[in-house]
Chain A
């Protein structure tokens, strides 16, 4: 029981660190691909949090496992659309630098 609480604390800390890295990456990076990578890190943080929440003495709850698998699939779809858009941005601007695509108001 003591081990479980310890494990949960460690994993929760990992989740918070991962989420912070992901958000930092999305906010500060100027490169579109790095923004996409930031989104992926944030997705992993949330997926890990679902697993942490399903943690019990007898392993991870089956519901949490199935939810995480679905969430990973959705994350892959979002990444695919995002990367396709990055390719289109590159075709228009010949760069993937966010500062160059300021024709809209951010």
Chain B
């Protein structure tokens, strides 16, 4: 019974995505135009309920799995669910629900809304599928479902040149990235003759000493290809160039979806594949043994992450467009998440079997996992707020919207909370996730590389706090310009998601004592396995 429950969220979302064209016909017949919006919202809400039920049924330090049509591993399609997968799926569906509520008013000027909601649902299905996938190829199929939906959604307003051009650029770069990671997956398949992640880990453990030189070489190559392939969608420097064009070009609701959760999916996929496959956990999980990665992928992740944070921080200061500014800030935050996972893997590789290093690695990984949630909430909030501004003031230029917060007090105050949250001003949850990452990095002072890169991260996050507060000051306190004079507060259905998200920022902070054990469980599920 429990294992059947795994399929329900995906089935619900896919079914409603496929009946939306029929609902369109029904709408024309009934003369009631809002049926598809209601269907979208209710199906995502039902999916969220299933996920919460599923979370309760996961046994302590365990997992649930189901194989489709009775083909058991090493063959067949397997879904594998532990705390980390459900955690990610809840974030995806939660942000998706708020975006659907926001779209109710924001998208009403557009035509072809049945396609919009259908694609939104397939986008969420793809992400939930990636979170639940138990084998590499299944993950790739859901990954492409997500990617193809997001290409179409970025260029949804095809009457604007910006959307079409950015969409094409996104498509070319992201497709190359997916193909590169598929190439890596095929190399792994060639080594082990299976694509089931658990099965690969077991076979690698059994064969670790009796490996041919060529097989080890292709494993290293596969690791690099998988990291590079998923780094394109994660927008890590030097693969980031599509993001500052694609995210502003999309409708604000879709930018919130893309920046909030779609780019997180790639970090999830990367960390899930690498931690599951290359961590040699003894079967049976003896209590005194710790996972040791076979390949030093943590080093690559730290280098990419620190490079991403630094370069994006330099480029962000030149941005004049609000949405481009937010897009660059997404790149910066992806850098934090990548370096958090990188520090964890680096510690596991270089200090095998040491309890203290393992604890530090868990701390760094929980920091990264918590930052996924914090950034998803904060960045969706700010992109939805930019949607409110575009809806009211019809401009995205930061110098023209100065002082708009006074004219739109509710959304303005909510967005200030979001900016403080992302800046990491101490009591808010955004501070604690960065603290955990830094804590993991500074735990072993004798390691120069780790300490050096962590200090760069710290300096960058202080610098980042500066420009978030600067943006908040310009929006809320500066004298308002002529454009802003006629502006009034956004419609209520656009206000609800913004206010809800800022309430989430505050309640995350209050709920931290209960949240941190959950996140540590997720980190342990990722690193040790259920």
Report which A residues bind B (CB closer than 8 A).
19, 23, 26, 32, 35, 39, 42-43, 46, 49-50, 52-54, 61, 63-64, 67, 70-71, 74, 77-78, 81-82, 85-86, 88-89, 92-93, 101, 103-106
B residues near A85, Cβ cutoff 8 Å: 151, 155, 164, 167-168, 171
Known contacts A54-B189, A74-B148, A82-B172; 5 further A-B pairs (Cβ under 8 A): A19-B183, A26-B176, A70-B141, A86-B168, A103-B162
B179 adjacent to A88 (CB under 8 Å) = no
Q: Mark B152-170, 1 if CB is under 8 A from A, else 0.
A: 1001001001101111110
Q: How far is the CA of A53 from the CA of B222 in the complex (A)?
A: 13
Can you sample 30 A-B contacts with CB below 8 Å? A32-B168, A39-B176, A42-B176, A43-B179, A46-B179, A49-B183, A49-B187, A53-B189, A54-B190, A54-B193, A61-B193, A63-B195, A64-B189, A67-B137, A74-B144, A81-B151, A82-B172, A82-B175, A85-B151, A85-B155, A86-B168, A88-B155, A89-B164, A101-B161, A103-B162, A104-B169, A104-B245, A105-B241, A105-B245, A106-B169
Q: How far is the CA of A22 from the CA of B496 in the complex (A)?
A: 47
A residues near B151, Cβ cutoff 8 Å: 81, 85
Q: In angstroms, how far is the closest chain A Cβ from the Cβ of B149?
A: 10
B168 adjacent to A78 (CB under 8 Å) = no
A residues near B172, Cβ cutoff 8 Å: 26, 35, 39, 82
Interface residue? B75 (CB, 8 A): yes
A78 adjacent to B167 (CB under 8 Å) = no
Q: How far is the CA of A54 from the CA of B179 in the complex (A)?
A: 18
B residues near A88, Cβ cutoff 8 Å: 155, 158, 164
Q: Which residue of B lies closest to A54 (CB)?
A: B189
Q: Mark B184-221, 1 if CB is under 8 A from A, else 0.
A: 00110110011100000000000000000000000000
A89 adjacent to B144 (CB under 8 Å) = no
Q: How far is the CA of A35 from the CA of B140 in the complex (A)?
A: 23
Count CB-based A-B contacts (< 8 Å).
93
Interface residue? B228 (CB, 8 A): no
Q: How far is the CA of A92 from the CA of B158 in the complex (A)?
A: 9
Query: Residue B183 contacts which of A32, A46, A89 (CB distance < 8 angstroms)?
Result: A46
B190 adjacent to A78 (CB under 8 Å) = no
Q: How far is the CA of A74 from the CA of B155 in the complex (A)?
A: 19
Interface residue? B450 (CB, 8 A): no
Q: How far is the CA of A35 from the CA of B158 in the complex (A)?
A: 20
Q: How far is the CA of A54 from the CA of B183 in the complex (A)?
A: 13
Q: How far is the CA of A42 from the CA of B158 in the complex (A)?
A: 27
Given contacts A53-B187, A106-B241, contact A39 B158 (CB under 8 A): no
Q: In angstroms, how far is the closest chain B Cβ from the Cβ of A1?
A: 15
Q: Mark B366-405, 1 if CB is under 8 A from A, else 0.
A: 0000000000000000000000000000000000000000
Q: Which residue of B lies closest to A89 (CB)?
A: B164
Query: By DSSP majority rule, is chain B's interface helix, strand, loop, or mixed?
Result: helix
Q: In angstroms, how far is the closest chain A Cβ from the Cβ of B83?
A: 29
Interface residue? B182 (CB, 8 A): yes
A residues near B171, Cβ cutoff 8 Å: 78, 81-82, 85
Given contacts A32-B168, A49-B183, A85-B168, contact A78 B148 (CB under 8 A): yes
B137 adjacent to A89 (CB under 8 Å) = no
B residues near A89, Cβ cutoff 8 Å: 164-165, 168
Query: Residue A82 contacts which of B168, B179, B183, B194 (CB distance < 8 angstroms)?
Result: B168
Q: Which residue of B lies closest to A78 (CB)?
A: B175
Q: Which residue of A lies closest to B174 (CB)?
A: A78
Query: Residue A67 contacts which of B144, B179, B187, B195 (CB distance < 8 angstroms)?
Result: B195
Q: In angstroms, how far is the closest chain B Cβ from the Cβ of A105?
A: 7
A residues near B167, Cβ cutoff 8 Å: 85
Q: How far is the CA of A76 from the CA of B179 in the complex (A)?
A: 13
Q: In angstroms, how far is the closest chain A Cβ from the Cβ of B125?
A: 14
Q: In angstroms, how far is the closest chain B Cβ from the Cβ of A48?
A: 9
B164 adjacent to A81 (CB under 8 Å) = no
B residues near A104, Cβ cutoff 8 Å: 162, 165-166, 169, 245
Q: In angstroms, how far is the closest chain A Cβ from the Cβ of B463?
A: 23
B residues near A81, Cβ cutoff 8 Å: 148, 151-152, 171
Q: In angstroms, how far is the closest chain A Cβ from the Cβ of B70?
A: 16
Q: How far is the CA of A106 from the CA of B161 in the complex (A)?
A: 15
Q: How far is the CA of A76 from the CA of B448 in the complex (A)?
A: 49
Q: How far is the CA of A63 from the CA of B1 in the complex (A)?
A: 28
Query: Residue A50 contacts which of B158, B168, B186, B194 (CB distance < 8 angstroms)?
Result: B186
Q: Which residue of B lies closest to A71 (CB)?
A: B182
Q: How far is the CA of A52 from the CA of B152 in the complex (A)?
A: 33
Q: How far is the CA of A66 from the CA of B186 in the complex (A)?
A: 13
A78 adjacent to B144 (CB under 8 Å) = yes
